[in-house]
Amino acid sequence: MKMLSLKNLLLVLCSILSCVRSAAELIRVSGYEGREVQVSCPYGEGYESYEKYLCKNDCRSYNVLIKTTQAKKNRYSIHDDKQKRVFAATISDLSRTDAGKYWCGVTRTGKDIYTEVMLEVGQDSCCDHSTKVQTYEESSVSFSCPYESEYQNSLKYICRGNQPSVCLQHALISSDNKQKGQFTLTDDMASRKFTVTITSLTQKNSGSYLCGVHGNSGLDVFSAFELEVKVFQQTSTVMSTINVVPTFTMVEPVRSQATPIPGKEIKEATLFYSVGFVVPAVLLILTSALVIVYKYKCYKVRGAGGDMNRNKTKTAETEEVTGVADIYEIEDIACSKQRTTKPQSSCQHHDDVYQNFTNTDDIYCNQIKGNRR
């Protein structure tokens, strides 16, 4: 009875040791949705010709995903490198449901050999929060990327885009090579952050960036940035001047310690420049209006003066003709009376005068006609 109890105790101890050994050999792998992941499973010497396989969960026969005798099956493929004594199983087109526990198995007589695998599947887009940065061409920008203390000696890098799965492959610069073109990387382990600086910026540098920290196991850690590089125009200089001018010109010693109201200086400067443009325009419009009114009045005065001159001329002509007619009538009456009382010579004299008046009338009329012409 004692022997049986000792035997059972040994079996329990073996089982415990077996569990500890399995936990120590745990393989951790990670991948991203829509991508593929490779699970590398080492095995001992002497098992090169044995069948290997990858299974999931409790690893019963219906949970076997692929065997080395199949090479490829659905989303799974397998390859056995007998020289390195490692077989690799690949899972493609990953989804979140693929995450979980797997087993690398080696078929043998009796109990198979197993190695536990833990698969983590992450979303192939980053991140929940993205820091937006705006700057201008020909300037520089720096991205500050924090990390945890456990990653102090890990590889740091930066890439363009927002797909973590290919970020390390397409890294623009890494902590292994801290200077490359317009990119510079510095790692401050004391403050646990690395900084990437980009110089001589152009609009081509605009876009998404990922700061990445490569972990020894599991998914890499990322920080996301969105960079916008604007074209530097003259309007930018004007706006800078508008911001600066009130600061230096509008000095109020009494209120020097007061907190400035944001945007107030800009509004006052904008009003100053608006008045500077509006006042000359208003003056120009008023001047033009006055010139037009003046010309119009001159034209009216000239027209009225012409009419008055013409009226005066006609009145003078009428008065002169009337006067001549009156004289003619008086002379005619006088002549008639004298013919009854005086000699004929006197009447003849008046006839000569009448003839002279007639000639004078003709000359006057000719002068008037000439003036009208």
Percent of the chain with pLDDT over 70: 58
Over range 137-151, report the average pLDDT: 94
Q: Which residue has the tokens 């693929």?
A: 98
DSSP three-state, residue 69: coil
**pLDDT higher than 90, residue 285:** no
CA angle in degrees (0–180, nearest 5) for 129-133-134: 150
Higher pLDDT, 3 or 171: 171
The most confident of 81-90, 239-248, 300-309, 320-329, by mean pLDDT = 81-90
* Least confident segment among 135-149, 168-182, 285-299: 285-299
- 101 in helix, strand or coil? strand
Question: Phi and psi dihedrals of 158, rounded to 5?
Answer: -140, 145
Which stretches does DSSP call E strand in 52-182?
52-56, 64-67, 72-73, 76-81, 86-91, 100-106, 113-122, 130-136, 141-146, 155-160, 173-174, 179-180
Residue type at position 161: G
Give the integer Cα–Cα distance in Å for 26 and 45. 19
Cα–Cα distance between 155 and 84 in angstroms, integer? 27
pLDDT value for 368: 43
- Banded model confidence at residue 154, pLDDT cuts 50, 70, 90: very high
Distance in angstroms (rounded) separating the CA atoms of residues 145 and 196: 8
Q: What is the pLDDT of residue 246?
A: 35
Q: How far apart are CA 255 and CA 246, in angstroms?
A: 14
Residue 270 has what pLDDT?
46
> Residue 10: in which H helix or E strand, if any?
helix 2-24
Q: State how far the Cα of 163 lies from the Cα of 170, in Å rounded to an integer.
A: 10
The pLDDT tens digits of the residues spanning 77-113 come to 999 999 999 999 999 999 999 999 999 999 999 899 9
The CB-based long-range contact list for 278-287 (8 Å cut-off, 24+ gap) reads none
DSSP state of 43: -
Amino acid of residue 350: H
Would you state the structure tokens that stand for residue 224, as one six-digit string?
């996301």
Of the pLDDT bands very low, low, confident and very high (cuts 50, 70, 90), residue 175 is very high
- pLDDT over 60 (residue 35): yes
User: Residue 173 has which token pair?
Assistant: 């610069």
Mean pLDDT of 356-371: 45
Helix (H) or strand (E) holding 32: strand 27-32
CA-closest candidate to residue 113, choices 87, 90, 92: 87
> DSSP string of 234-254?
HHHHHHHHHHHHHHHH---GG
Mean pLDDT of 125-144: 93
pLDDT tier, 207 (very low <50, low <70, confident <90, very high otherwise): very high
Angle between helices 264-341 and 344-372 (to 10 degrees): 160
| Bridge partner residues of 157 (DSSP) | 174, 212
| AA identity, residue 236 | S
Nearest to 89 by CA among 13, 29, 149: 29
Structure tokens at 235: 């309007």
Task: Give the whole-number percent of the chain exceeding pLDDT 90.
Answer: 49
Cβ atoms of 104 and 89 closer than 8 Å: yes
* Omega of the bond leading into 347 within 30 degrees of 0 (cis): no
- Residue 176 tokens read as 């292994």
Cα gap 23→115, rounded to integer Å: 9
Question: H or E segment at 264?
Answer: helix 264-341
